[in-house]
Amino acid sequence: MKKQSELYSGKAKTVYTTDDPEKLILHFRNDTSAFDGEKLQKLERKGMVNNYFNAFIMQKLQAAGVPTHFEKLLSEDESLVKKLDMLPIECVVRNISTGSLCRRLGVEEGLDLDPPTFEFFLKNDELHDPMINDSHILTFKWATQAEIDRMKELTFKVNGLLKALFADAGLLLVDYKLEFGRYQGDLLLGDEFTPDGCRLWDAETREKLDKDRFRQGLGGVVEAYEEVARRLGVELPEVSA
């Protein structure tokens, strides 16, 4: 598989074309961003940890019947994926109240959400990813009704699978964001599932082990990601002294 030209460089990953028109390479960089790119920092090892973390989760999901773009790990910070026609939509499920839900609705932090909430956001940094609903998606033709239904079905399926996976590792899956894209008539899970795009709390202490450590300046960001990886059994390369 030969890397060709840079297709897109986002806030945390760079996407490259390959000699196969159906495949892309995702390069997980150490760049970390929050608040729609306002806060930026390079965090040593983050690209590598997220690449392995994402591969582990995507393979679990694929094996459990969630179709994903993931093909294989290529190097410490690169993975091969199917090239998707990404929908400009973010799907967010929440099991515990925190973050923008509390700011928007004035609800208390840390409530168990039963049933979990589901929200769509438009992927648009300039507009600060506004919340949208099914009606906006249909009117502006960002996706079809069948795709809306499929995104909801798959995002909730992921919730069932990953809540259990994280619970077994002593972690609470608080909330997370997924992105989907079209591939040969199907909708596949794309982008990434890493602690950059979800919230994970220690089940006993409720210590934050995700990107909120970066957003809130708590320090130990990559160390927290590595702790989660270790608890899940993700194999990371040895750190050279």
Residues within the interface to ligand ADP (CB under 6 A) = 8, 10-13, 15, 24, 69, 81-84, 86, 179, 181, 190-191
- Residue 211 touches ligand CDP, criterion: CB under 6 A: yes
- In the complex with ligand CDP, the residue whose CB is nearer, 58 or 101, is 101
The one among 71, 90, 191, 227 contacting ligand CDP by CB under 6 A = 90
Q: Are 28 and 222 contacting, i.e. CB atoms less than 8 angstroms apart?
A: no
Task: Determine the residue with CB nearest ligand ADP.
Answer: 10
The one among 92, 132, 162, 229 contacting ligand CDP by CB under 6 A = 92
Q: Which of residues 96-135 bind ligand CDP (CB under 6 A)?
A: 99-101, 129
The one among 176, 180, 193, 225 contacting ligand CDP by CB under 6 A = 176
27 makes contact, choosing from ligand CDP, ligand ADP, none, with CB < 5 to 8 Å by partner type, with none
